[in-house]
Homo-oligomer: A and B are copies of this chain.
Amino acid sequence: MNTPHHFPQLFFDLYQLTMCQSYWRGDPTKEAVFELSFRTMPPNRGYLSLFGIEKSIEYACNLSFDQSSLEKLADLGKFDPKFLDYLANMKFTGNIWSMNDGDILFAGEPAMQLRGPIIQLQLLETILINTINLRTLLATKSSRVVQAAAGKPVIDFGARRAHGLEAAGTLSEASFLAGFSGTATVNSGAYVGFPLVGTMAHSYVLSFDSELDAFRAYASEFGSDCTLLVDTFDTMAGVNNAITVAKEMESRGDQLRAVRLDSGDLEKLSKFAKEAFVHAGLPYVNIVASGGLDEYRIEELEKSGARIDGYGVGTRVSVSDDAPWAESVYKLVEVEGRPVFKTSKDKESSPYQKDVYRKFDDTGSYIGDVVSPIGTMPPYTEHKSLLEIKVASGRRVEPQCPIELSRSRHLSEIGMFPARFKKLLNPDSYPVETLYTDSVGD
């Protein structure tokens, strides 16, 4: 989408603003450190595909209040006019460290850290959680689908049941980062440049007097750029109609690209269709499957020997349906150099700004992470640090990372983890060691 280079108007929870008025009344320059992390892993997730960092940095660096927002706040009658004047002139002046979009993240590891005036950092709470939570959930779900599809192309068909128009665009981005081959969502393709892929709907077939008429009309319009949907009435008859049209296309020098199966027994029907096309001398016609697919169903199909060449996934992936939310949190860990943490039951937080290190063996394969108070990494020989400075005194250290690079990073990083951490059901738990110093608890 056309990303807005401004802070979305008043995207706050009310308490952020009221707390900030109190901070302002006290000492608005009080320095704090907040960390954004996932408290636990969502069900069946062996890893998280981090996404939302670049967007979060954009929002943070653009934290501001326009005149219209300030007038709306004044209308609420809750705020001191002098506090609103303060907000009118406020800019983000803090530092941000983070992992990168496309990195692999685990529960308990800070994905992002912010150091700066508490008043600014508190105002970023809701938007940063929202931005990283959704993108990471969608990228993770999509990454699992890519794993299941075992190298076959996967296309995003999810716009219609994503949670809103914005979420549909976010889904295109997250699934592209995770390794999808393209999207059917036109604005994502047209404005962001993702490969656009489309087929046809049942309504198209129904609008003609016969399925054969429909296939002929579409093939004559789009030539070789043509995928025929064959299950409107009876899939086997639909495949035979597709064969008829594919042969007519050959006589014009075109080649039918694919047929799509959207219902029924996809294993059986894909084998039937593939054999029928091969038998008819049309071995190049691809079989694309869709209809309620997710990583679990695709893994089953792959194991069954289904003759499917590519997958279209929509609804279940578009909402990350088996994990539509996660315990993403944004926690205060230091105030004026003093470590802080809460002790609420089952919601404890941990103090200090932290480092995260990833250890690897001599083949380069990752073997475990260490989270430790900053500057306290033990002398492991083979490790890399995952957190990098991204923003210094309110300004980006480097330009925004293009999503193509984040995609490359993700595909490369995911390959460095042993398969047991990437199982779709009950994956092994990747070791994350958390080190504290003696001063915790003071």
Contacts and interface: CB of A to CB of B under 8 A. Distances in A.
B185 A217 contact: no
Contact of A203 (B187, B233, B331, B344): B331
Contact of A10 (B8, B34, B76, B191): B191
Contact of A335 (B15, B76, B206, B234): B206
Contacts of A190: 10, 69, 72-73, 75-76
B129 A160 contact: yes
A372 interface: no
A199 B164 contact: no
Contacts of A160: 13, 125-126, 129-130, 133, 328
Given A202-B332, A345-B264, A22 B161 contact: no
B11 A168 contact: yes
Centre residue among A161, A170, A184 by max chain B CB count within 10 A: A161
Contacts of A263: 344-347
A288 interface: no
Interface in A202-257: 202-207, 217-218, 221-222, 225, 231-234
Contacts of A122: 201, 203-204
Interface string A327-354: 0100110010000111111110100000
A344 B191 contact: no
A203 B332 contact: yes
Given A18-B198, A21-B221, A196-B76, A12 B346 contact: no
Given A76-B189, A203-B332, A263-B347, A14 B168 contact: no
Nearest to A9: B187
A388 to B, nearest CB: 24
Interface stretch (A105-113, A317-325, A378-386, A424-432): A317-325
Contacts of A22: 204, 217-218, 221-222
A344 B160 CA distance: 20
Given A17-B186, A130-B161, 14 more contacts: A13-B184, A14-B186, A15-B200, A32-B207, A73-B190, A122-B203, A130-B159, A130-B160, A130-B164, A133-B161, A134-B161, A207-B335, A263-B347, A264-B345
**Nearest 10 pairs of A and B residues by beta carbon:** A14-B198, A163-B163, A72-B190, A203-B332, A166-B166, A15-B198, A10-B187, A319-B324, A263-B344, A324-B324
24 contacts: A8-B187, A10-B186, A11-B186, A11-B187, A12-B186, A18-B198, A21-B221, A22-B222, A76-B189, A125-B160, A126-B160, A130-B161, A134-B161, A161-B325, A161-B328, A162-B163, A163-B170, A163-B319, A202-B342, A206-B335, A207-B335, A207-B340, A319-B324, A324-B324
